[in-house]
Amino acid sequence: MADTLKVIEQCEVSPPPGSVPSTSIPLTFFDLPWLCCPPLKRIFFYNFPYSTQHFFQTLLPTLKNSLSLTLQHFFPFSSNLVFPPKPNPPHIVYTQPHSVSFTVAQSSADFITLVSDSPKDVTALHPFVPVLPPPQTLEDGTFFIPIMAIQVTVMPHSGFTICITFRHAAADGRAFHHFMKFWASVCKSNGDLGLASIALPLHNRDIIQDPKGLKHIFLQKLLNFLPENVESKGEIRDVPSDMVRHTFVFSHEHVEKLKRWVSIKCKSHGLELPHITTFVVTSALIWFCKVKSEEIKSATVLANNDESYILAFMADCRNRPEFSIPVEYFGNCLVCGNAEVKRSKLVGENGILEAAIAIGSEVRHLQHGTFEGAETLMSNFTEFATLGKHMTIIAGSPNLEVYETDFGWGKPKKSDVVHVDNSGTISLSDCRDKEGRIEVGLALQKIQMKKFSTILEEHLTEIRVLD
């Protein structure tokens, strides 16, 4: 029998009355390129072996109250993206009683299956994903687009999910997970902000320096990017019927042996030792396996081995000494790195090594080049949107500590980036049991996923026997 989902309540949650004045927040050059990005979707699964009625009586009121108290400090999430008539720039506006759409539902889906790492149909998570409210247009053409929606779904006697859809132009992953941990901390302390242990966010956009005038350049490029284009990127797209998502877990031993393997290979080939980190070697292995697994899709893939393949990833500029941007800064603060390798090299005998060198070099470049990755943000996102190139995008980071989001009933049983439904995206995160383990999530068509898994296991076996 097919899983069923029943919406039990649809409401709005806003900051406490009078707690937030009407506020307008400008978008910085870090924020503007993300207007071209579809909304992000992150889901958290929690154990709850009780009835729906028990959930409604005990947890739901605390969840709503703590969310309201949290939105007092993270009010941009209950705001709107505003596109005034040209040439006025888009910005974020909060006015009372702006709120976040909050949906409560009940599902007959099997909780144990959903939290397993085994392959599952990508559509399995779609019923849990909240839809952003529709935009509004004023008579003068001003366009208002809601920024966040939340859905809580109960699976009786097993668990429940919290799933959030939000627009990247308002906040990056660091800011979003700051919000989630703050909400969790307030909930765990039963609404006592004095006991909540998470720092307050910093909303001052003046600390973002723009010596290269990138905001003006990006605004000019966005002039023909209509607000309707932003809204059209809001919903879950159709995906192939045989698409599956899979979570792969790398142990600390896997990662350390992979680092050593890359180091030995570099020396044996007389190559410069790249920036060898957990991120570099894990991304290199996954990228290699993904591209290698494409060989079975179509013979046309093999037609031009000189085409460039790109791995795009983000680097956080917070807490870097040259910028003086604190880790609590709320907004976007990312630059983009592009590791580029010719296909013939990437799928060759030394493909993992070639990938590691390219990624490591780009990581090192971003660490030493002030805002250099920022200059290409807009053009990168244009390419991401069209996917005209052979591009893979890394979403998330183990450093965000997703599994530390404890609302008072323990760590998440699982957390997924729902938007890896786009097979051009791979997610990285920490693991529930820590111990240096890394979770990698991706979605591919079934036959390619099987090939990917085989290639990955072959290389992990080779690396595992390294003394």
**What is the 3-class SS of 217-284, one letter each residue?**
HHHHHHCCCCHHHHHHCCCCCCCCCCEEEEEEEECHHHHHHHHHHHHHHHHHCCCCCCCCCHHHHHHH
Residue 307, pLDDT score: 87
- Do 377 and 28 meet the contact criterion of CB atoms below 8 Å apart? no
Helices 278-293 and 446-464 pack at an angle, to 10 degrees, of: 130
Whether residue 196 is found in the same domain as residue 273: no
Question: What's the gap between Cα 314 and its chain centre?
Answer: 11
Residue 433, pLDDT score: 82
**Is position 406 annotated as part of the catalytic site?**
yes
User: Does residue 238 fall inside a structural domain?
Assistant: no
Classified as helix, coil or strand, 160 is strand
User: Does residue 369 fall inside a structural domain?
Assistant: yes
Structure-token pair, residue 450: 């099987």
Residue 234, pLDDT score: 44
- Do 91 and 98 meet the contact criterion of CB atoms below 8 Å apart? no
Residue 371, pLDDT score: 66
Q: Which of 54, 203, 252, 406 is catalytic?
A: 406
Whether residue 199 is found in the same domain as residue 282: no
If phi > 0 it is left, if psi is from -120 to 50 it is alpha, else beta; for residue 371 that is left
DSSP 92: E
The number of beta carbons lying within 10 Å of the beta carbon of residue 305 is 13
DSSP 329: B
Whether residue 216 is found in the same domain as residue 141: yes
Whether residue 158 is found in the same domain as residue 273: no
DSSP 202: B
Residue 436, pLDDT score: 77
Q: What's the CATH number where 401 sits? A: 3.30.559.10
Residue tagged 């980036």 (tokens): 417
- Among residues 314, 380, 311, 427, which one has the least CA distance to residue 33? 380
Choosing from 207, 232, 257, the residue where a domain stops is 232
**Is position 306 annotated as part of the catalytic site?**
no
Task: Determine the number of helices (DSSP H) and then strands (DSSP E) in the chain.
Answer: 12, 18
Amino acid 127 reads P
Structure-token pair, residue 95: 């006015």
- Do 430 and 250 meet the contact criterion of CB atoms below 8 Å apart? no
Residue 467, pLDDT score: 56
Whether residue 253 is found in the same domain as residue 223: no
Whether residue 156 is found in the same domain as residue 296: no
Strand pairing category for 390-395 and 425-429? parallel
Q: Which of 73, 98, 168, 419 is catalytic?
A: 168
- φ, ψ of residue 342 to 5 degrees: the values are -65, 145
The HSE-up count of residue 121 (CA atoms within 13 Å, CB side) is 11
Whether residue 48 is found in the same domain as residue 195: yes
Structure-token pair, residue 291: 């591209």
The number of beta carbons lying within 10 Å of the beta carbon of residue 7 is 11
Classified as helix, coil or strand, 125 is helix
Whether residue 335 is found in the same domain as residue 390: yes
Structure-token pair, residue 147: 């920024």
User: Does residue 222 fall inside a structural domain?
Assistant: yes
Question: What's the gap between Cα 266 and its chain centre?
Answer: 32
What is the Cα–Cα distance from 154 to 167, expressed in whole angstroms? 25
Mind giving me the DSSP string for 436-458?
T-EEEEEEEEHHHHHHHHHHHHH
Choosing from 170, 199, 232, the residue where a domain stops is 232
- φ, ψ of residue 439 to 5 degrees: the values are -100, 130
- Whole-angstrom Cα Rg for the chain: 22
Mind giving me the DSSP string for 348-401?
STTHHHHHHHHHHHHHHHHHHSTTHHHHTHHHHHHHHHHT-SEEEEEE--GGG-
The HSE-up count of residue 112 (CA atoms within 13 Å, CB side) is 2
- Do 176 and 192 meet the contact criterion of CB atoms below 8 Å apart? no
Whether residue 132 is found in the same domain as residue 220: yes
The HSE-up count of residue 331 (CA atoms within 13 Å, CB side) is 25
- Please give the residue range of the domain that contains residue 135: 5-232
Amino acid 118 reads S
Residue 24, pLDDT score: 96
Whether residue 122 is found in the same domain as residue 32: yes
- Among residues 430, 416, 447, 412, which one has the least CA distance to residue 124? 416
User: Does residue 237 fall inside a structural domain?
Assistant: no
User: Does residue 219 fall inside a structural domain?
Assistant: yes
Q: Based on the structure, what is the number of domains in the chain?
A: 2
- The residue ranges of the chain whose pLDDT is under 50 are 234, 300-301
Choosing from 204, 232, 260, the residue where a domain stops is 232
Whether residue 158 is found in the same domain as residue 74: yes
Whether residue 167 is found in the same domain as residue 303: no
